[in-house]
C-alpha cells in the first residue's frame, strides 16, 4: 500500500471518527440532557475507551484533516473555478485545520492532559480577536461567515448535493438521503446560531457573547433541542456511510511533502 492509499484509508477512519463524535453529541443530549461540542464528545469517549481508541481516532482525524487541506490546496474534489468552488475550497481548508486541532486534542488526552471545558475556547479566541485593532469588525465578519455557512448547509440539505460524492447505488437509498438531509439541516441551524453569537460578540465587543456548538444546543428550547440533536444523530450516521461509500480522490502525497519541505514544515 503506497502513501496515498494509506492516507485514503486514514481519511475513511476520519469520516468514521467524525460520525462517532456526532453520534455521541446526539446521545448525550437525548439521554442525559448534556450539551457538548466535538471536543467534549472526544473527552467523553476518552473517559470510556482508553488510549487505543484515542490513538485510532487521532490517526483518523489527522488523515481527514490532511485530506481536507489537500482539497483546499490541490482541488482534489474537482470544484469549479468559480466563486462557489473557491468558497468550497476555503471551507475545506478550515475544516482540515479544525480536525487537525481535534487530533491534537486526542493526542493530549492520550498523554493524560485534560481536554478543557466546552465553550471556553470560543470565548478565549474571540477575546484575542477583540483585543486587536478593529477586532470587533473581524469578529462580526466571522459571525456573518458562520451564518452564511449555516445557510449553505441548509441549501445542501434541500438540494441533496451532499449525495454527489457517494457511490451512486448508495446515494439512491432512502436511508442515505434522509440521514444526510437531517444532518446537514441540523448543522445549518447550529452554524447559524453560533454565527449569531459571534456577530453579537463583535457588535457588543463582549467575548462572553460568543459560543460553540454546546452553547448553541443549550440555547435551544424544547423541543427544538431534541429535533436538532436527532439531526446531528443523522449527520453522524451519514458520516459513517461516507466512511464506507464516499468516492475519494487520491491525495498527492508527494506534492504535500514537497510543499512542507519548501516551507520548512
pTM exceeds 0.75: yes
**Mean pLDDT, residues 209-219:** 95
**Mean pLDDT, residues 221-247:** 96
Enclosing domain of residue 251? 3-262
Q: For residues 92 and 72, what is the distance between their CA atoms, to the nearest angstrom? A: 6
Q: Tell me, what's the pLDDT at 122?
A: 86
* DSSP secondary structure, 105-143, as one string: HHHHHHTT-----SSHHHHHHHHHHHTSTTHHHHHHHHH
**Mean pLDDT, residues 46-63:** 87
Q: Tell me, what's the pLDDT at 121?
A: 76
Number of domains in the chain: 1
Specify which of 31-40, 102-111, 193-202, 254-263 reaches the highest per-range mean pLDDT. Answer: 193-202
Considering the chain, what is the average pLDDT of its residues? 89
Residue written as grid cell 469517549? 45
Residue 121: other Cβ atoms inside 10 A:
16
Q: How far from chain centre, in Å, is Cα 222? A: 25
Question: Which H or E run contains 49?
Answer: helix 38-74
Q: Tell me, what's the pLDDT at 236?
A: 97
Q: Tell me, what's the pLDDT at 254?
A: 60
Percentage of the chain modeled with pLDDT above 90: 71
Half-sphere exposure of 147 (CA within 13 A, CB side): 12
CB 197 within 8 Å of CB 211? yes
80: cell is: 469549479
148: cell is: 452564511
Q: Tell me, what's the pLDDT at 260?
A: 45
Q: Is residue 117 predicted with pLDDT exceeding 80?
A: no
Q: Tell me, what's the pLDDT at 45?
A: 87
Q: Is residue 184 predicted with pLDDT exceeding 70?
A: yes
Amino acid at each position: 500500500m503506497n502513501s496515498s492509499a494509506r492516507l485514503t484509508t486514514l481519511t475513511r477512519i476520519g469520516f468514521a471518527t467524525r460520525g462517532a463524535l456526532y453520534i455521541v453529541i446526539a446521545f448525550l443530549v437525548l439521554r442525559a440532557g448534556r450539551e457538548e461540542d466535538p471536543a467534549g464528545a472526544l473527552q467523553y469517549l476518552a473517559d470510556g475507551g482508553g488510549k487505543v481508541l484515542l490513538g485510532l481516532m487521532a490517526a483518523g482525524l489527522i488523515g481527514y484533516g490532511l485530506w481536507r487541506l489537500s482539497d483546499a490546496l490541490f482541488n482534489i474534489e474537482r470544484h469549479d473555478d468559480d466563486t462557489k468552488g473557491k468558497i468550497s475550497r476555503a471551507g475545506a481548508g478550515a475544516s482540515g485545520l479544525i480536525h487537525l486541532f481535534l487530533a491534537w486534542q486526542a493526542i493530549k488526552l492520550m498523554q493524560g492532559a485534560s481536554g478543557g471545558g466546552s465553550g471556553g475556547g470560543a470565548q478565549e479566541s474571540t477575546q484575542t480577536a477583540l483585543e486587536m485593532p478593529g477586532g470587533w469588525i473581524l469578529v462580526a465578519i466571522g459571525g456573518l461567515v458562520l451564518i452564511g455557512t449555516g445557510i449553505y448547509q441548509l441549501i445542501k440539505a434541500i438540494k441533496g448535493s451532499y449525495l454527489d460524492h457517494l457511490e451512486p447505488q448508495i446515494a439512491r437509498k432512502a436511508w442515505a438521503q434522509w440521514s444526510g438531509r437531517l444532518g446537514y439541516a441540523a448543522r445549518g441551524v447550529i452554524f447559524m446560531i453560533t454565527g449569531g453569537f459571534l456577530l453579537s460578540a463583535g457588535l457588543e465587543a463582549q467575548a462572553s457573547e460568543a459560543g460553540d456548538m454546546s452553547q448553541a444546543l443549550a440555547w435551544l428550547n424544547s423541543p427544538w433541542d431534541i429535533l436538532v440533536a436527532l439531526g446531528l444523530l443523522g449527520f453522524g450516521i451519514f458520516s459513517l456511510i461516507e466512511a464506507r461509500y464516499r468516492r475519494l480522490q487520491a491525495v498527492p502525497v508527494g506534492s504535500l511533502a514537497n510543499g512542507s519541505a519548501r516551507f520548512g514544515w
